[in-house]
Amino acid sequence: MSRLVLFITIIFAAALIASAQDLVAARRSLMPVPAGVVWKSGRLAVTKDFTVALAGKTDERLKAYVSRAMRRLEGRTLLELSRDFAADAGKASLLIETASTGSAIPQLGDDESYTLDIDDKQARLKAPTTVGAMRGLETFLQLLEGDRAGFYLPAVAIKDRPRFAWRGLLIDSARHFQPVEVIKRNLDALAAVKMNVLHWHLTEDQGFRVESKKFPELHTMGSDGLFYTQEQIRDIIRYAADRGIRVMPEFDMPGHATSWVVSHPEIASLPGPYQIERRPGIFDPTLDPTNEQTYKLLEVFFAEMAGLFPDKYMHIGGDENEGKQWAANPKIQAFMKEKGLKNQDALQQYFNQRILKFIQKNGKIMMGWDEIFQPDIPKNIVIQSWRGQESLAKVSRQGNQGILSNGYYIDLMNPASEHYAVDPLPANTTLSAEEQKRVLGGEATMWAEWVSPETIDSRIWPRTAAIAERLWSPREVTEVDDMYRRLDTVSTRLEELGLTHRRNQAMLLRRLAGGTNINALETLLSVAEPVKGYRRYQVRPQTMLSPLTGLIDAAQADAPGARIFNKAVDELIARRDVPQNALLIEKMLGEWRAAGDDLKDQTENSPALAEARQLAADFTALARIARAAFEDLKLRRLPTAASSSDRPAGWRDAHLKALDEIAKQKAGLELVVVDAVRKMVVEVSEK
């Protein structure tokens, strides 16, 4: 942790304990916020004698989950706790009682509710199923506090259940392959924030990542040797099930299909040969919906995959098929005319209906993106919406179930606050009560054009925890500042599960700096973020083979220094004088100025940082403008303050013009404090 971030943490920790009300709030570091919480007086001590007892119907999954939870508790408290379950339930520190083991393989609709009651004698966790107990155990771990007297759990009564049944994360292993250990540690993180679906995107233009024993050429020719064996997939499914998480595969078609036709050009809509795609983007290769060979292969493939993946849902993608190959193939055009298919959408619907039969034959439910939604599709097809809440509402009104992903695209590098504001069922929804039941929940999407095993965690976490809260907690839980306060705590807790979202940034910076001190680079990245949306494609062209080890890859969304600086400036200008604001701004500007010389030297002397030379120069210039504006802003609070007329002519316009240039991306990064500095310049320039 850099000195600046450490200082910010200390300042905000001090603010949190400034009053009795804040002390209560500090206890509420739960995320997701439970459906019902009643804080009480008293505390349950956590000592080396802390024990756990099980009652009711238990299984090995629960015992293993409890054991892992206790090891995490040990790691936080430095206490060595018993490995055995207590025989006397009445004397145990934590009593866990489950009415049923539930489904061994998690299913949509499993009962995840629980109650947790803690007083000064015992903690009692009750749940109808094993999975419910798992969710309660995560809340139990989040309650741990400590003071001079030792570690303890505050007295509380919690009654909790999720708002939505489908709370997922899509991981794209096709564009950039993610090893098994990456998938597993992210499953641990999903369980920690009570998410329950891993949507595994396994085929794409850039790679075919699942072993097929029926068609081994698919993965041998379409993956560069980077794929999951069927035994590895079974291992992942078991690992997920032991954490109450479903695993749903996605095999994208008829578009996004290059890796399919590398080995099987005969099922492509135009003749091959084809090679694995190395670029990002949307590409032409598309499966031929008029060729019976296409369906013969897919029927066998889906039967094989249905036997491998036990989840009831199977995702066929169906998105972003531009139909260029269909339009260019006279045979396909003749087929459409013969069948009375008026356009590309109708042809894709014909394809989907054929695929649906294979999926239903194997006892599965078909799922796809918005593009497969048509007025006459069967009501048991589930739609995943990337288009938004209104599209999802339309799906529900027609009688289909659906989930929302629009607003949860974490690969776009938007701040957690933006994701947090998106609700699958917003307060102003016009859906009826029955239609609302068809909105199953939502999924965060980690598309993998620009992530490696070193950086993927930092793109998923901790922001996905905010999405997890939106999908679990009551709709009314919306306060952004409190969300960020708790998100910082969750981020720390995730590290104990092996997540690398924090630690790998320093590793990447040390590599870029050639072993020199990285304090200045950390200061820079505390206020700089990667460009948003899909601009990275344009501003920093790379392929799927390019190393993802640049400064843009070390940078993260929601730069902590920027968020805090921007808020402090807003409050200072509005004269909402939280005592720490001026001190905080002064301290940060000092850090920025001190970083300037080091950044200049590092970008000049490290070839790996050469692309950031202008960014470093801009940061130095920004610090100088911010300092001048801040000093004037402080002076304006005095009775003898100077007016804007005392400044040189053109002072305001010159600085605003300079800030406009500084705001432009360099090396794919943006200084996201420019607007706050601009506000200060404008404020001190007004008469």
Q: Is 306 within the bounds of a domain?
A: yes
Clarify whether residues 460 and 315 are in a common domain. yes
Q: What is the pLDDT of residue 560?
A: 94
Element at 247 (helix H, strand E): strand 246-253
Q: What is the CATH number of the domain that holds 116?
A: 3.30.379.10
Q: What is the CATH number of the domain that holds 311?
A: 3.20.20.80
Q: What is the pLDDT of residue 72?
A: 98
* SS3 state at 456: helix
CB contact at 8 A, 400 and 372:
no
Clarify whether residues 299 and 419 are in a common domain. yes
Q: Is 313 within the bounds of a domain?
A: yes
Clarify whether residues 280 and 398 are in a common domain. yes
Give the end-to-end CA distance of the chain in Å, rounded to a whole number. Answer: 42
Q: Is 19 within the bounds of a domain?
A: no
Which of 433, 459, 476 represents a domain boundary (last residue)?
A: 476
Clarify whether residues 564 and 548 are in a common domain. yes
Q: Which residues does the chain have with pLDDT short of 50?
A: 10-21, 23-24, 26-27, 639-641, 644-645
Strand-pair category, 365-369 with 313-317: parallel
Which of 136, 160, 184 represents a domain boundary (last residue)?
A: 160
Q: Is 371 within the bounds of a domain?
A: yes
Q: What is the pLDDT of residue 461?
A: 98
Q: Is 559 within the bounds of a domain?
A: yes
Q: Is 483 within the bounds of a domain?
A: no
CB contact at 8 A, 644 and 684:
yes
How far apart are alpha carbons 560 and 564 in whole angstroms? 6
Clarify whether residues 329 and 388 are in a common domain. yes
Clarify whether residues 277 and 242 are in a common domain. yes
Q: What is the pLDDT of residue 346?
A: 96
Q: What is the pLDDT of residue 23?
A: 38
CB contact at 8 A, 102 and 134:
no
CA 645 to chain centre: 49
Clarify whether residues 186 and 325 are in a common domain. yes
Element at 418 (helix H, strand E): helix 416-420
* SS3 state at 476: coil
Q: Which residue among 145, 320, 435, 495 is the active-site one?
A: 320
Which of 476, 496, 520 represents a domain boundary (last residue)?
A: 476
Q: What is the pLDDT of residue 28?
A: 81
Q: What is the pLDDT of residue 3?
A: 54
Q: Is 17 within the bounds of a domain?
A: no
Q: What is the DSSP string of 332-352?
A: HHHHHHHHT--SHHHHHHHHH
Residue 287: which of 306, 301, 308, 304 has the closest Cα? 301
Clarify whether residues 366 and 315 are in a common domain. yes
Residue 287: which of 278, 279, 297, 277 has the closest Cα? 297
Clarify whether residues 148 and 176 are in a common domain. no
Is 686 an annotated catalytic residue?
Answer: no
Q: Which domain holds residue 256?
A: 166-476
Clarify whether residues 459 and 327 are in a common domain. yes
Tokens in use for 17? 């304990």
Clarify whether residues 391 and 271 are in a common domain. yes
How far apart are alpha carbons 620 and 626 in whole angstroms? 10
**Amino acid sitting at position 204:** E
Clarify whether residues 154 and 180 are in a common domain. no
Q: What is the pLDDT of residue 296?
A: 98
Q: Is 487 within the bounds of a domain?
A: no
How many domains are there within the chain? 3
